Structure 1
Amino acid sequence: MARFKLKESKKELTSYAGLSLIGQCLEAINVEAVVDGQIPVSQGIKTSDLLKTMVGLLCIGKSDFEAVEPFREDRFFKKALDVRKVPGSVWLRQRLDRISGKLLEPLDECSIRLIERIQAPITPHKGYVCLDLDTFVMDQSGTKKEEVSRTYQGVDGYTPVAAYIGNEGWCVGLELRPGRWHSSLEIDYFLERLFPRVERLVAPTLPVLLRKDSGFDSAKLLFAIADEKVRWAAMDRCFDYLVKWNPRKQDKTAWVEKAQAAGAFVEKRPGKREALMTLIVERAWKKQIRHFRLVIRVIERTTNKHGQMLLLPEVELEGWWTSLEEAEEMVIERYRDHGTHEQFHSEFKTDLDLERLPSGKFETNDCLLRMGMLAYNCLRLIGQLGLTGHLAPIRHPAKRRRLRTVLQEVMYRAAQVIHKARQWWLDLGHDSPVAKVFAFLQERLVVQPGFASG
């Protein structure tokens, strides 16, 4: 094997050339206008510089406060993110502990501004722009962080709630919650903050479909989203919902008899039959009574897929609350795509390295998670605009690139940093296939016409 000789030169190199594109995303948001006006400082590092520094670290997969130390004297890091001074790890941690509560709303606004001002594509799925809502578990076992408690997956941690929109999976809501909280607890307040954001981002001509799993099956939430449908209709806009039914203590045998009496069973194969039914069910909340459509699917198996006879029939019972007026098969098909959002959860936890949050304070971790939402949307934007078209490096065709792919293809790109004649250059190398991607993204990641600079 050849042994290469080592050489040190005076050239300034970086292995994170993609940070220049993150800086453009933050410039389009105008972070200073959103943050510094609400959280001013009389001296020292500006709040916007703190935010840019942490988001920049998250965009290269570094979530610990100590990861900032190698970048304190990095000229490219400062120039790319437009940061006057990079804070040290101790200062970064202490400042975030003090101001994290005030940063939550500005951080949410930054994420929405990014999608709105760049006019990121929000594509529908079979005619509807889907809004997927769910909770997920962040394992914090072996720690004594605030509000860490037993989750529904049997581990100690947090159960944040997240909302994603469009086929691209833009994150439009992400909030940290104690691990012991049920999925539906105080979720109505989250929805109050979420719906105006969706209203801003989705074109008025496109219908929106809210999809939630059975953890959100409650009369209170059904009434809330039914009221939202009425509010959108008053604006001449279309809003529908699709919520998985929680059968709780339902008698499956009784449902088989009910489907049999209705003549709804259809034989799918020998030993398996399926029934689809639509019911209008009465629900009550605070002395109000409303009627909701419930789509039911009952599957009875007397043999398994190999033809083996079962001692007792296996009965599978599922249902969906919906405002859709489509056939039962289409309602079920629309909900099936809801499972895609599980990949987005994993990208937060693995690709951004946010599985175990770095602070011991709950509010600071909530702030860091929302910074993660901004970093997620920045990377998703780069992936959608630069890695799905004809300019992208050769990969299998896809409608969406995973964040890990964006990190590997763009963010971890090595380049020579050149500062000459008061201009900054990035030398990406001879005949670099990604140079065209960088050039295209630099032209695309600017505020689109119709938005003020503030």
Structure 2
Amino acid sequence: MFQNHPMGEKIIDFSKQSMPIFGKIKASNIEVIVMKKLVVEFSEERLITPSGLSLVGSMLGKRDFAKKCNRMSVSAKRSQPQIKNGDILLTYIGLLCQGKTEYEAVHEMMDDPEYYKMALGIAYAIPSAETLRQRMDDIGSSLRDTILQANVDMFKTYNIRPTALENGYVPVDIDVTPFDNSKTSKEGVSRTYKGYDGYAPMMEYIGTEGFLVNCELREGKQHCQKHTPEFLKETLQLCHQLTDAPLLIRLDSGNDAAKNLGILIEDGSWFIVKRNLRRGESKDDWISLAKECCKDIRNPRDGKEVYVGSSWKDVTYTDDENNDKTMCMRIGYEIIERSIDKHGQFLLPADIEANTWWTNLGATDDEVIALYHAHGECEHYHSEIKTDMDVERLPSGKFETNELVLELTIIAYNILRMIGQESLKSKKAPKTKHVVKRRRLRTVISNLILIAGHITSHARKVVLALGCSNTWRYVFMDLFQKFALA
């Protein structure tokens, strides 16, 4: 275990280490615990940890995404110019699917580059970290349209459609989530509304599964409504390619603007948009209106009254042809008056809370409120991107390169989401205590992407063997037949 160092010090030889484990034997009806030793040593066998990248490569290889990217010219002055841009993007998507964003993580592929090339469909070679950084900087945001369309094509290839709600509408949640990049001097990093320095990207999810359709990297100080009309139009166009069902767009109060409402009306989509109180409006006005007109008054406890109902107001917007249009719009409201707080303390004056929403739904007031509250589920999707995939502290100091990282995250995120949702259909999936409707991305990465396998070459075939000790091997086989052999 110990070897003599030339300088007279003792060093440890890690090529053969052992650690004690416990075993049990029985002798003369007496159970005796004896210590066994587990020997750890290096071998020449090809044991691969992220065997699930074979699923990722299969899903990426069934479209011409890499071929389109390869058409971009590569400067001969750059290092490794023989490596095409398609290989660069495939490599980085492979890192994202493992929950890694740093360029240096590509060094982990160098121990067995043949497997990673084969698994991800890389044509020439795996780039070095320096080449990966340089080429990502060169590409920047130039491939945005190509990436967004490749994402849509992936859904069409496997005939995967976003699941609708019980009312038949497909939910589309649009929200801003700040990325904490504090203590950095990256381009575009500035103060966010969360109180730290970073970015404030806008994300768009579709379906009850939370598939990611569109995103836009923004400076931290940028108001959420800036450039939102253009983003909204682009998002609607992508969503209509994914489903023929009616869309239900849900937006927070930061995007309460007549311009947005006009875009949704002209598109023919249904929507619920959290509404801000206008100038001249006050909470007292709303409580007076509610007491005068509301017929649905509830008393959940002493000192608390809830008024639920709808009102109507004209909204004027400008369409794409610069024509002004006015429409009478429904305002759903929930007005809460508290004269006694939950601790029994009397409040003078009473505390008034006014929640209002723009909507064109014909649903009941309670259904409108419940549908908007379900919009909060997109916070879970934000969390999976920022923590499970580790895409919060973006790797580059250049804004356009970080845009590319976020756009590639769309494809990587949806690949993991598709794998997770399809794994739920496997009858051999490990049993869970509760009914699972959506697998968290961290579960997909740890159990299906980072599943260990043994690589052997025989009879002109490369075989990836999964050990009998992993209960997820049956699910993996079902997924492989779905995405690789279909």
State the distance in 1 between where 2:331 and 2:242 align. 30
How far off its partner does 1:388 sit? 5.0
State the distance in 2 between where 1:142 and 1:433 align. 43
**Equivalent position of 1:271 in the other structure:** 303
How far off its partner does 1:414 sit? 1.0
Give the strand-richer structure, 1 or 2: 2
> Residue deviations 1:157-186, cap 9 Å, x none?
101011100011100001111111111111
Q: Give yes or no for the alignment of 1:31 onto 2:70.
A: no
- Within 5 Å, which residues of 2 pair with 1:171-190? 171-190=212-231
State the distance in 1 between where 2:372 and 2:212 align. 19
Q: Give yes or no for the alignment of 1:359 onto 2:396.
A: yes
Say if 2:294 and 2:308, in contact at 8 Å, map to a contact too: no
How far off its partner does 1:36 sit? 2.3
State the distance in 2 between where 1:344 and 1:336 align. 15
- SS of 2:40's partner is coil
AA paired with 2:402?
Answer: N
Selected match of 2:419 from 348, 372, 382? 382
State the distance in 1 between where 2:174 and 2:129 align. 34
Give the helix-richer structure, 1 or 2: 1
State the distance in 1 between where 2:468 and 2:141 align. 47
Q: Give yes or no for the alignment of 1:254 onto 2:285.
A: yes
**Equivalent position of 1:119 in the other structure:** 159
Count of residue pairs the alignment pairs up: 437
Say if 2:233 and 2:263, in contact at 8 Å, map to a contact too: no
- SS of 1:70's partner is helix
- Within 5 Å, which residues of 2 pair with 1:56-71? 56-71=94-109
**Equivalent position of 2:6 in the other structure:** none
- SS of 1:243's partner is strand
Name stretches of at least 5 consecutive residues in structure 2 with no aligned partner.
1-19, 22-36, 319-323
- Within 5 Å, which residues of 2 pair with 1:72-151? 72-74=110-112, 75-83=114-122, 84-126=124-166, 127-151=168-192
Which structure's relative contact order is higher, taking Cα pairs within 8 Å and 6+ residues apart? 1
How far off its partner does 1:334 sit? 1.0
Say if 1:134 and 1:163, in contact at 8 Å, map to a contact too: yes
State the distance in 2 between where 1:267 and 1:131 align. 33
AA paired with 1:168?
Answer: E
Q: Give yes or no for the alignment of 1:221 onto 2:238.
A: no
State the distance in 1 between where 2:292 and 2:457 align. 80
How far off its partner does 1:306 sit? 4.1
- SS of 1:29's partner is coil
Q: Give yes or no for the alignment of 1:283 onto 2:315.
A: yes
TM-score by length of 1: 0.92
How far off its partner does 1:90 sit? 0.6
Distance 1:22 1:41, change over 3 A: farther
Selected match of 1:319 from 356, 381, 403? 356
Distance 1:306 1:338, change over 3 A: same
- SS of 1:220's partner is helix
How far off its partner does 1:290 sit? 2.7
AA paired with 2:355?
Answer: E
Distance 1:271 1:143, change over 3 A: same
State the distance in 2 between where 1:427 and 1:41 align. 41
Say if 1:130 and 1:211, in contact at 8 Å, map to a contact too: yes
**Equivalent position of 1:195 in the other structure:** 236
How far off its partner does 1:365 sit? 0.2
Q: Give yes or no for the alignment of 1:244 onto 2:250.
A: no
- Within 5 Å, which residues of 2 pair with 1:41-52? 44-52=82-90
What is the root-mean-square deviation in Å for CA atoms of aligned residues? 1.9
Name stretches of at least 5 consecutive residues in structure 1 with no aligned partner.
230-238, 449-454
AA paired with 1:241?
Answer: F
Distance 1:248 1:348, change over 3 A: farther
- SS of 2:392's partner is coil
Distance 1:30 1:137, change over 3 A: same
